[in-house]
Amino acid sequence: MTLFELVIRSMRKNMKHYYLYFFALISSTALYFVFASLQHDTSIMAATFGDVQFASLFKVSGMLLLAIVVIFMLQANSIFLGRRSREIGLYQLVGLTRRGVLLLLVAENMLLGIGALLLGIGAGALASRLFVLILMKLIGIESVITLSFSNSAAIQTAIVFAVLIGLTWIQIVFKVYCTTLLGLFKADRQGEHPKQPKAVLSAMMGLLSIVLIGAGYMLSSKLPGQELFLQMLVILASTILGTYLLFRVTIGWLLYWVRRSKNGQLGLKNSLSLAPVMHRMKANASSLTLITVLSAMTLTMVAIAYSLYYSAESEARGMLPYDFIFENNGQDARSFRTELEQAEFTFIHQSVEAIRLTGAFGNGKEGERSLLLLAAEQLQASGADIELPKQGEAVWFKGQRNALSKEPDTVLFPQAVNLEASGVPLTIKVIKGIDRYAMNYNVNGGQLAVPEATLHAIREQIPSSTNQATIQIDTYQIASKNERAVASGFYAKYVKADENRPDFDTYYKESLQKFGLIIFIAGFLGLIFLMATGSILYFKQMTEAEQERKSYTILRQLGFGEQEIMGGIIRKQLFVFTIPLAIGLVHSIVAVKAASALTLSDITFPAAAAMAMYTVIYFVFAVLAVGYYRRIVRLAL
């Protein structure tokens, strides 16, 4: 028999084990090709965002996509090589040299890779149009864009996957040449007979895992300062190390004490679920940690991206409470009003008095800043939801918090604000702070809403000087989205090229495009991450099912029925799939909560919806694993 015939026979025999791996490989190739096609297509980049920031975002996302595909392929290949250890040993026993075994496995791997590459590029070329339509829909662009087959994307995909196949060949070389014959035959029994954990050491390591995770959570709850990158690294290192120790020590230790509390009498279901998980926990700690971290990253990324997209309108309204404003420009305001009336648009116009001057909060340690005092009654008259403070008091509208802001996270209220202009000292009491703007964010000065009487009193007490200015702001609100979009075109004529004076409609559409691109990339990466984590878990369960086949045969011979055995197996699958997901969910909830502090909107619902969707898709792999176990149990007799 020639080597080629041996390769074909081996592939036919192992195809039932390779089918999901082959499908996942094709899907990964297709998605990478689609991503590369979008990145290389100049018409799409010009239609979405041609600036450097978003081009860089595509490049970074491409590298992240490549990283997860590398991890997935190496993990999956390692699982299958371990699964075929006995077969590799048998080849050597019957006289095949290590070089011959290596050539056999490399040839299989190459044929599998070439097939996945060709089919993946073909599937990606067909799916590219669909992904372009999704992208255009997300960013709100109605124009039709034609996407042709990209030779550059195909070459890039081929090069990337050639490198990936090369990495799997290195794994094969190490497996064949660095594993003894005895080791090959014992590979499927590694981790089956764990030692009794040392009580004191296990307790200390278990406590350390919880402390590390808790420290990461506490650090993430604090808003970042100037050392943002360092803080993120510490959080990641602490959480990942804590998660590894949780799987490596804590969970196995807890399961051991559960078994000990039952005096070893676990019963059928616990013997089929609890015991196998406990025996393999140390051996699987690295892969389970990887799956948990990837799940947490995916959940956080998708949840935050969807939350930003879902909250784009409310975020824009928080930044720009008014659709259009004119500051100290009554002539343009009247001209704009005339255009709205001629177009027969329904609108609300309200003039708001304000004073801009310098002041300092509290004891002045933070230094003086520019402040904008706004008449609260006039803001209320424009339809704004403004609490009317008492005479001599103010409400501070802090706006959106910046991640690198030096301002303290918590400010105690009430707090005095000292105002001073031309040597005349004045003090007002700030009774509360609100995380949104009372006036459009581009109007200079920290925004304080004060009673109209207080505003007039301050204006009379402080003489005109270079440190203070009386301001008249004309605000316009238009309820109809279509009319607002047309009015945006009218308003653009009054805005100078070097002037930062956005209107709500333009700002909202730009935000929608920005967040639409982000959610598209996050969804793209999330799909790959989900496929990788679910597939790795499924492959490991396939391997364990084959290893436990003899146990099921014995149980069937003793008279246990299929449903009785499947009850324990289903419990095991719930345990195996739920633990990484549950820990990943907790990690992501903490991360999303930390990120929500930087937004103006409540992102609880969109984040929960994204996590629920991920969970449902994730458990599809659990259902597939249960189905595979069921076939093994049925064939046990």
pLDDT in tens, 489-518: 999 988 887 788 889 999 998 888 888 888
Rounded to the nearest 10 degrees, the angle between the axes of helix 604-634 and helix 562-596 is 160
Q: Is the pLDDT of residue 376 over 80?
A: yes
CA distance 156 to 101: 31
Q: Is the pLDDT of residue 404 over 50?
A: no
The rounded Cα 80 to chain-centroid distance in angstroms is 29
Mean pLDDT of 596-603: 66
Is 554 exposed, middle or buried (CB count within 10 Å of its CB: 0-12, 13-18, 19+)?
A: exposed
Question: Does residue 553 contact residue 636 with C-beta atoms inside 8 Å?
Answer: yes
More confident site: 396 or 185: 396
Residue whose pair of structure tokens reads 């605000």 in the numeric block:
475
Q: Is the pLDDT of residue 465 over 60?
A: no
Mean pLDDT of 388-393: 87
| Helical spans, DSSP H, in 41-51 | 42-48
Polymer length of the chain = 637
Q: Is the pLDDT of residue 337 over 90?
A: yes
Which tens digit of pLDDT belongs to each residue from 625-637? 898 889 888 887 6
45-54, 283-292, 360-369 — which is least confidently predicted? Answer: 45-54
Query: What global pTM score does this model have?
Result: 0.74
Mean pLDDT of 338-353: 91
CA distance 287 to 75: 8
Question: Does residue 453 contact residue 412 with C-beta atoms inside 8 Å?
Answer: no
Left if phi > 0, otherwise alpha if psi is -120 to 50, otherwise beta: which for 304?
alpha
Which H, E and C letters describe 173-186, residue by residue? HHHHHCCCHHHHHH
The H-or-E segment that residue 116 falls in is helix 98-139
Q: How confident is the model at residue 188 (pLDDT cuts 50, 70, 90)?
A: low
More confident site: 181 or 420: 181
CA distance 120 to 34: 10
Tell me the chain's radius of gyration from C-alpha atoms: 32
Of 215-219, 265-269, 599-603, highest mean pLDDT: 215-219
Q: Is the pLDDT of residue 191 over 80?
A: no
DSSP letters spanning 304-332: HHHHHHHTHHHHHHHH-SSSEEEES-HHH
Share of the chain above pLDDT 90, in %: 9
Residues 6+ apart with CB under 8 A from 38: 44, 45, 58, 128, 131, 132, 135
For the record, the structure tokens of 457 come out as 């009193």
More confident site: 224 or 355: 355
DSSP letters spanning 126-169: HHHHHHHHHHHHHHT--S-------HHHHHHHHHHHHHHHHHHH
Mean pLDDT of 96-124: 87
DSSP letters spanning 502-570: --HHHHHHHHHHHHHHHHHHHHHHHHHHHHHHHHHHHHHHHHHHHHTHHHHHHHHHTT--HHHHHHHHH
Give φ, ψ of 461 to 5 degrees.
-75, -30
CA distance 250 to 124: 43
Question: Does residue 527 contact residue 31 with C-beta atoms inside 8 Å?
Answer: yes
For the record, the structure tokens of 525 come out as 């990466």
Question: Does residue 213 contact residue 243 with C-beta atoms inside 8 Å?
Answer: yes
Residues 6+ apart with CB under 8 A from 254: 206
Which tens digit of pLDDT belongs to each residue from 12-39? 777 766 676 787 788 888 888 888 887 7
Q: Specify the pLDDT at position 1.
A: 61
Map out the domains of the chain as residue ranges: 1-190, 221-230+254-320+503-637, 323-501
Share of the chain above pLDDT 70, in %: 86
Which tens digit of pLDDT belongs to each residue from 224-254? 555 666 777 888 888 888 888 888 878 877 7
How many CB atoms within 10 Å of residue 117?
Answer: 22
Averaged pLDDT score across all residues of the chain = 81
Q: Specify the pLDDT at position 340.
A: 92
138-142, 218-222, 265-269, 512-516 — which is least confidently predicted? Answer: 138-142
